[in-house]
């Protein structure tokens, strides 16, 4: 909402504060003043002049005129490119030395072979509009030589206010003026309270068939001069408020809407057939709206109809057939109150947000309709030569609610006392009627504040008008908290471990396309967005890898060759269902709650890793998950697996107590090619929730017995078939070696003719120790032989000769 | 008495050996001298043999003199060996010196600043006895809107540019705020409730330098008996001081949010200029554009309608809630000018933040 300060002053005549002070006061009262625009200060030495003669210059690329302009004291020669004026017209003439918005200085100069001693200005050059065709032609009675800034009242300041949904009344100069008057303690001249012509017996017939309309004032205006222009001051107000002047009838309805907040619609009464009916649209009903679009109406749309059918979409847009035209002389003015939800739904359904629907959606003052219609009629009579005709007022609005309000409520909420007369006074400031003497008073909110529905809303009015800065500062005494849960702490551990392992964390959007789901999904459906940001990315990720790989590719394309990234966050598994929306008068029942939760797809947190360049190798990817497990106190065991999208020979599943919790390895060359990734890109992904839950469920670690006896070390080299996993050999050795084994690790892997085709040699170092004695050679060799024997049994391993 | 037991002869043996020791250039040369100076065939050994052959009355004197030479040579030999060993050790240490600035090149990791700032803020509140609450990103509209006093077709619901999830009309959506976690907390936890809820939220909004369809938010909720706006102010001031330095304060400006009443915009005193730039004549400040305050979020007293929808008796309990943009907090705290840097995953952006930015 753009509010010219000059307009505001007509409603708060005693207001003397500067625009900046007014803006600051409004901000304190809770209005969002986004900007203060200033106009006219940058226009100097532009005066009213009269074109004495016009000479057409030829021989140039475009038509050029050479004129003499009289400014009262003398005449100036001037060259002008515009053609929309004639000798005798009054124009805005910039004298030599004048300055215009944007820092333009006007000087005498030679051009097109003539002297140009000034400039004839357009609206745009004066800062009156963004663009203009030709120069500004003033009224014939504009006094010669007078400063145009004064003549056109160009000097003004405009407050640009962002209106929150609860403050519909501030979508009007009237509403803003009320806040200004309250803030400065000044009197408000409320144009909404101006007397209006009462209903007459012969008013236009109006039938309200739907409770989506609670008030309808219809007024006939006859004998309008369709050619009569809007007065300059009115056009100027509209321009400053951000609207384009169009015609007197349209400008007047817009002016009233801006001043009072009441949208008006003007029908060409001669093109209406029969009386007005407000109803819902009929099945199959269509209407061509003012914008020329033929629209199929929905049966839920509220419409204005005559005997021929719908003639307007109520509160949203009029119909083309009954539009006011350049020949209209008889108007039917509609000043109505429509229900917010009905208008909001229709505006959304037809994608037709308008100045009118914006106001109806937030609630229009139902008491305002007669005064608004009266204001419009008066302007049409005064400036369009029209005659006020009969009046209809169908009024079915409900009585204003009476709210019981404890005068102590503001203190209970704000934590500071407010005197009773302060509470009552502030409620009266916003327009409430307050009655009663006890602890609980009766409050009737004003008709323009449909948002004041209960104690909390009334409290806010008192507290905000008294100032939030008067509220004291105190700390609540929270009960002893339990700190982070074990799981929350472990997730931090996981994040730190991944980063400490040389990975850089990224946060990627969860939107993916079909291809990503095909390549990286587990096969089930993924949630689909109804209104995605991009049609190519309409699904929610089933895996962290698509986002991570996109980030990896971005880094690679920026010349970063060695990249190792990780991300932790939810993935979305399953399409999601439907659940009825419970009411809000109380908590959902257990059944309703269960249905709500069941409608949501599973959203487990995963940890994903991608690697390319120097850090990238299949074993780094597997190790990333093994290390992550270790950081959480878990042993993750890799096992070979052929699984898309990984390289069939370079992929491991990670097992936790035999259960798969992750996958890791080198990506399949086909996937690498499809996604345009650097060759041999590696990746890993694990279910972080499962890891964290398992870690949180671990029993306290039992401390080992640290033996002080000497160790005995033995190495064994075993030959196995190439397909046998070292992890299986190691597991067998561990089991076979028994309790005396203190440590075991693989220190050499060897292939070659010595061990035979298709086989390899694995060399392990075993360290034995007993807690209570020095081991004998017999004991050590016995344990070693048992280990080798079990490895042979389970994996076919034989001691290397 | 044989000549070799003459005192001058013994002295000559001794002096020759001492000179040889002193001239030995290293330990192996010294070791090689052992045989010729004190070994079985050395003049000294021969002297000992000669002593054995002397008549009894001469033995004591000759033996004493030979032993004196032997002891002198032994001491000299050990001294020389120790000196040479010390020389060798010192030389080895010099030779083993390295360039301590050459380190193995291991990949360096970092955590995302959105992660670390979340942890820092959460820790401030956990320190005040609050707990960390979490909820799903894909939510049902009842939690994201209805229970928060934003019914269908409310202008506030339309303003949020919600990303809806198939099937249309199912009520499934990507949460537009972390407030649904507050609703879940009130439904699932025992009163009183003191929780912070950080997380990612989503809007159907085109990406540019200052907007992202995905961004981080952190909300707090306190519902207890006797809670007032004074507690809201006190809590926010405590947060500001803990995060941005002692004495940093906050300011509330009236505003509208459906889920709070009264509602306020939350401004943080500029941590850089502490408001000094907004005073006439003050040094301009880039962090706050010389306004003295930085807008960081919204807050207010929990609307009784929200309490009722969550099964809390608004006659007995009251509460406050606040929310702030984590991206915005990061941007002014670290001088980030383009929000896209947070979501593109360029390692050059994230690495400087380290593990605990
Ligand atoms: Zn500053």
**Cα(B278) to centroid(ligand 1), Å:** 8
What number is the average pLDDT over the span B66-87? 92
Q: What is the pLDDT of residue B311?
A: 95
For the stretch B298-330, pLDDT in tens is 999 999 999 999 999 999 999 999 999 999 999
Start-end ranges of CATH 3.30.930.10 in chain A? 486-582+589-696
Start-end ranges of CATH 3.50.40.10 in chain A? 206-395
- A101 burial (CB, 10 Å; 0-12 / 13-18 / 19+) is middle
Q: Sign of torsion, CA A633 A639 A640 A642?
A: negative
Q: Which of A13, A15, A19 is nearest to A157 (CA)?
A: A19
For the stretch A691-704, pLDDT in tens is 999 999 999 999 98
Does A130 have pLDDT greater than 80? no
Architecture of the domain defined by A44-154: Beta Barrel (2.40)
Cis (ω within 30 of 0) for the bond into A645? yes
Contact state of B345 with A454 under an 8 Å Cβ cutoff: no
Q: What is the pLDDT of residue A139?
A: 85
* Residue A354 CA to its chain's centroid (Å): 19
Residues of B in contact with A593 (CB under 8 A): 187
Does A38 have pLDDT greater than 90? no
Does A138 have pLDDT greater than 70? yes
Q: Does B243 touch chain A (CB under 8 A)?
A: no
For the stretch A591-605, pLDDT in tens is 999 999 999 999 999
Q: What is the pLDDT of residue B209?
A: 86
Which of B130, B172, B256 lies closest to A576 in CB terms? B172
For the stretch A166-198, pLDDT in tens is 888 999 999 999 999 999 999 999 999 889 999
Q: What is the pLDDT of residue B1?
A: 59
Q: Sign of torsion, CA A317 A323 A325 A328?
A: negative
**Cα(A160) to centroid(ligand 1), Å:** 25
Bridge partners of B223, per DSSP, are B193, B319
Which of B156, B167, B253 lies closest to A578 in CB terms? B167
Contact state of A479 with B192 under an 8 Å Cβ cutoff: yes
In percent, how much of chain A has pLDDT > 90?
Answer: 77
Q: Which B positions 99-118 lie with beta carbon below 8 A of chain A?
A: 106-112, 114-115
For the stretch A379-414, pLDDT in tens is 999 999 999 999 999 999 888 999 999 999 999 999
In percent, how much of chain B has pLDDT > 70?
Answer: 99
Which of A58-67, A134-143, A211-220 shows the highest mean pLDDT? Answer: A211-220
**A675 band by pLDDT with thresholds 50, 70 and 90:** very high
Alpha-carbon distance of A620 to A67, in angstroms, equals 84
Q: What is the pLDDT of residue A152?
A: 80
CA dihedral B268, B270, B274, B275 (to 10 degrees): -90
Alpha-carbon distance of A394 to A336, in angstroms, equals 9
Q: Where do the DSSP E strands lie in A170-281?
A: 206-208, 213-222, 264-268, 276-280
* Phi/psi at A475 (5° precision): -105, 135
Start-end ranges of CATH 3.30.930.10 in chain B? 113-353
Contact state of A570 with B136 under an 8 Å Cβ cutoff: yes
Is A393:A369 a contact under the CB 8 Å cutoff? yes
User: Beta A387-395 vs A294-296: how paired, if at all?
Assistant: unpaired
Q: Which B positions 165-204 lie with beta carbon below 8 A of chain A?
A: 165-172, 174, 187, 192, 194, 200, 204
Q: What is the pLDDT of residue A368?
A: 93
Q: Which of A33-47, A435-449, A695-709 has the lowest mean pLDDT?
A: A33-47
Q: Which CATH topology does A206-395 take?
A: Phenylalanyl-tRNA Synthetase; Chain B, domain 3 (3.50.40)
User: Mean pLDDT score of chain A, rounded to an integer?
Assistant: 93
Alpha-carbon distance of A210 to A549, in angstroms, equals 57
CATH of domain A712-799: 3.30.70.380
What number is the average pLDDT over the span B40-57? 85
Maximum Cα interatomic distance, chain B, rounded to a whole number of Å = 133
Among A481, A607, A609, pick the best mutation site for testing chain B contact (most B Cβ within 10 A).
A481
Alpha-carbon distance of A231 to A153, in angstroms, equals 12
Q: Which of A119, A164, A230 is nearest to A29 (CA)?
A: A164
Cβ neighbours of residue B281 closer than 8 Å, sequence gap 6 or more:
none
pTM: 0.82
Contact state of A507 with B168 under an 8 Å Cβ cutoff: no
For the stretch A459-501, pLDDT in tens is 999 999 999 999 999 999 888 878 899 999 999 999 999 999 9
Token pair of A580, please? 């009825």
Class of domain A2-40+157-189: alpha beta
Q: What is the pLDDT of residue A599?
A: 95
**B185 band by pLDDT with thresholds 50, 70 and 90:** very high
* Phi/psi at A741 (5° precision): -70, 125
Alpha-carbon distance of A419 to A438, in angstroms, equals 14
Token pair of A400, please? 């204003």
Does B156 have pLDDT greater than 80? no
CATH of domain A486-582+589-696: 3.30.930.10
Q: Which CATH topology does B113-353 take?
A: BirA Bifunctional Protein; domain 2 (3.30.930)
Kindly report the number of other CB atoms within 10 A of residue A555's CB atom: 26
Does B2 have pLDDT greater than 70? no
Q: What is the pLDDT of residue A245?
A: 87
Listed residues: CB within 5 A of ion ligand 1: B 270, 272-273, 277, 285, 287-288
From the CA of A617, how many Å to the nearest CA of chain B? 13
Alpha-carbon distance of A766 to A151, in angstroms, equals 103
Is A209:A365 a contact under the CB 8 Å cutoff? no
Class of domain A403-470: alpha beta
Contact state of B146 with A502 under an 8 Å Cβ cutoff: no
Q: What is the pLDDT of residue B3?
A: 76
| Beta sheet of A637-640, edge-to-edge order | A504-505, A563-570, A605-612, A682-687, A659-667, A646-656, A637-640
Contact state of B214 with A509 under an 8 Å Cβ cutoff: yes
Contact state of B165 with A530 under an 8 Å Cβ cutoff: yes
Tell me, what's the ipTM?
0.86
Kindly report the number of other CB atoms within 10 A of residue A392's CB atom: 21
- B50 burial (CB, 10 Å; 0-12 / 13-18 / 19+) is middle
Start-end ranges of CATH 3.30.56.10 in chain A? 2-40+157-189, 403-470
For the stretch A250-267, pLDDT in tens is 999 999 999 999 999 999
3-state secondary structure of A777: helix
Q: What is the pLDDT of residue B55?
A: 86
Alpha-carbon distance of B314 to A406, in angstroms, equals 14
- CB-side neighbour CA atoms (13 Å) of B174: 31
**A123 band by pLDDT with thresholds 50, 70 and 90:** confident
User: Mean pLDDT score of chain B, rounded to an integer?
Assistant: 91
Cα three-residue angle A287-A291-A293, rounded to 5 degrees? 45
């Amino acid at each position: 909402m753009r509010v010219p300060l000059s307009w505001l002053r007509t409603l708060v005549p005693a207001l003397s504060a500067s625009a900046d002070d007014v803006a600051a006061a409004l901000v304190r009262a809770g209005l969002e003043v986004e900007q203060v625009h200033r106009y006219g200060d940058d226009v100097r030495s532009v005066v009213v002049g009269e074109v004495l003669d016009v000479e057409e210059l030829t021989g140039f690329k475009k038509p050029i005129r050479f004129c003499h302009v009289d400014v009262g004291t003398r005449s100036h020669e001037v060259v002008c490119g515009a053609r929309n004026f004639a000798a005798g017209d009054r124009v805005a003439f910039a004298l030599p030395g004048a300055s215009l918005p944007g820092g333009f200085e006007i000087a005498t100069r030679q051009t097109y072979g003539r002297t140009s001693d000034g400039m004839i200005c357009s609206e745009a050059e004066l800062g009156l509009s963004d663009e203009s065709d030709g120069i500004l032609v003033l009224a014939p009675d504009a006094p010669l030589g007078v400063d145009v800034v004064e003549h056109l009242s160009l000097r003004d300041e405009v407050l640009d206010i962002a209106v929150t949904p609860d403050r519909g009344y501030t979508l009007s100069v009237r509403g803003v003026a009320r806040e200004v008057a309250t803030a400065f303690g000044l009197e408000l001249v409320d144009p909404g309270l101006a007397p209006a012509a009462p209903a007459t017996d012969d008013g236009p017939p109006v039938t309200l068939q739907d409770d989506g309309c609670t008030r309808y004032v219809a007024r006939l205006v006859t004998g309008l001069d369709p050619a009569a222009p809007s007065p300059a001051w009115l056009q100027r107000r509209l321009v400053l408020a951000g609207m384009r002047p169009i015609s007197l009838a349209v400008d007047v309805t817009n002016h009233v809407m801006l001043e009072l907040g009441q949208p008006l619609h003007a029908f060409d009464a001669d093109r209406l057939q029969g009386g007005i009916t407000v109803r819902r649209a009929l099945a199959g009903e269509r209407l061509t709206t003012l914008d020329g679009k033929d629209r199929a109406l929905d049966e839920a749309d509220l419409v204005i109809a005559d005997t021929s059918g719908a003639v307007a979409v109520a509160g949203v847009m009029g119909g083309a057939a009954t539009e006011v035209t350049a020949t209209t002389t008889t108007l039917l003015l509609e000043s109505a109150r429509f229900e917010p939800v009905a208008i909001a739904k229709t505006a959304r359904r037809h994608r037709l947000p308008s100045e009118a629907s914006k106001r109806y959606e937030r609630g229009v003052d139902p008491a305002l309709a007669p005064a608004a219609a009266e204001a419009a009629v008066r302007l049409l009579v005064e400036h369009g030569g029209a005659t006020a005709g009969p009046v209809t007022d169908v009024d079915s609005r409900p009585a204003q609610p009476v709210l019981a309000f404890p005068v102590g409520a503001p203190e209970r909420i704000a934590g500071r006392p407010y005197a009773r007369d302060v509470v009552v006074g502030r409620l009266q400031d916003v327009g409430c009627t307050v009655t009663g003497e006890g602890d609980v008073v009766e409050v009737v909110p004003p008709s323009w504040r449909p948002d004041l529905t209960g104690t909390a809303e009334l409290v806010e009015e008192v507290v905000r008008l008294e100032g939030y800065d008067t509220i004291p500062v105190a700390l609540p005494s929270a009960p002893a908290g339990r700190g982070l849960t074990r799981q929350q702490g472990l997730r931090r551990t996981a994040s730190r471990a991944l980063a400490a392992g040389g990975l850089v964390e990224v946060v990627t959007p969860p939107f993916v396309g079909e291809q990503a789901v095909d390549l990286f999904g587990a096969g089930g459906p993924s949630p689909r967005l109804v209104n995605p940001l991009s049609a190519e990315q309409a699904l929610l990720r089933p895996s962290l890898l698509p986002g991570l790989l996109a980030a990896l590719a971005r880094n690679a394309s920026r010349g970063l060759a060695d990249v190792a990234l990780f991300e932790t966050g939810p993935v979305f598994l399953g399409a999601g269902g439907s659940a009825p929306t419970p009411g809000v008068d109380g908590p959902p029942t257990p059944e309703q709650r269960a249905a709500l939760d069941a409608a949501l797809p599973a959203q487990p947190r995963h940890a994903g890793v991608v690697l390319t360049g120097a850090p990238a190798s299949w074993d780094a990817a597997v190790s990333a998950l093994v290390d992550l497990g270790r950081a959480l106190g878990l042993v993750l065991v890799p096992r070979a697996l052929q699984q898309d999208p990984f390289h069939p020979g370079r992929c491991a599943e990670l097992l936790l107590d035999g259960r798969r919790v992750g996958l890791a390895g080198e990506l399949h060359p086909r996937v690498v090619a499809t996604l345009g990734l650097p060759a041999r890109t590696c990746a890993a992904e694990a279910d972080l929730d499962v890891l964290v839950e398992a870690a949180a469920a671990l029993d306290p670690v039992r401390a080992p017995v640290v033996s002080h006896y000497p160790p005995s070390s033995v190495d064994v080299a075993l030959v196995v078939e190439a397909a046998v996993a070292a992890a299986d050999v190691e597991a067998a050795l561990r089991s076979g070696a028994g309790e005396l084994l203190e440590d075991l690790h693989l220190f050499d892997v060897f292939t070659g003719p010595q061990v035979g085709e298709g086989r390899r040699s694995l060399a392990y170092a075993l360290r034995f120790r007993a807690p209570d004695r020095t081991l004998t050679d017999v004991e050590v060799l016995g344990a070693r032989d048992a280990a080798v024997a079990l490895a042979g049994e389970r994996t076919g391993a034989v001691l290397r000769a | 008495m044989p000549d070799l037991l003459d005192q001058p002869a013994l002295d000559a043996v001794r002096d020759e050996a001492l000179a040889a020791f002193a001239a030995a250039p290293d330990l192996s040369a010294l070791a090689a001298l052992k045989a010729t100076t004190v070994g079985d065939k050395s003049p000294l050994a021969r002297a000992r043999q000669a002593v054995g052959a002397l008549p009894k009355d001469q033995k004591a004197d000759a033996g004493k003199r030979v032993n004196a030479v032997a002891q002198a040579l032994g001491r000299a030999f050990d001294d020389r060996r120790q000196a040479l060993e010390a020389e060798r050790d010192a030389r080895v240490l010099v030779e083993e010196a390295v360039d301590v600035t050459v380190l193995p090149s291991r990949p360096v990791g970092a955590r995302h600043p959105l992660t670390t700032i979340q942890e820092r803020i959460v820790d401030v509140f956990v320190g005040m006895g609050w707990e960390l609450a979490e909820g799903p990103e894909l939510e049902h509209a009842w939690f994201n809107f209805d229970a928060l006093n934003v019914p269908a077709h409310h202008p506030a619901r339309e303003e949020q540019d919600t990303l809806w999830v198939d099937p249309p009309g199912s009520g499934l959506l990507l949460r537009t705020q972390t407030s649904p976690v507050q609703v879940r907390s009130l439904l699932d936890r025992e009163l009183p409730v003191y929780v912070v809820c950080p997380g990612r939220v989503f809007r159907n909004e085109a990406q540019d330098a200052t907007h992202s369809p995905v961004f981080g938010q952190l909300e707090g909720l306190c519902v207890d008996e006797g809670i007032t706006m004074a507690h809201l102010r006190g809590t926010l001031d405590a947060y500001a001081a803990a995060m941005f330095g002692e004495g940093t304060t906050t300011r509330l400006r009236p505003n509208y949010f459906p889920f709070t009443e009264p509602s306020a915009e939350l401004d943080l005193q500029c941590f850089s200029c502490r408001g000094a730039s907004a005073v006439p004549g003050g040094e301009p400040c880039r962090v706050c554009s010389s306004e003295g305050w930085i807008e960081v979020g919204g807050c207010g007293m929990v609307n009784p309608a929200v309490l009722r929808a969550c099964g809390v008796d608004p006659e007995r309990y009251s509460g406050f809630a606040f929310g702030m943009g984590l991206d915005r907090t990061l941007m002014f705290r670290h001088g980030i000018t383009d929000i896209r840097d947070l979501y593109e995953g360029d390692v050059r952006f994230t690495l400087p933040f380290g593990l605990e930015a």
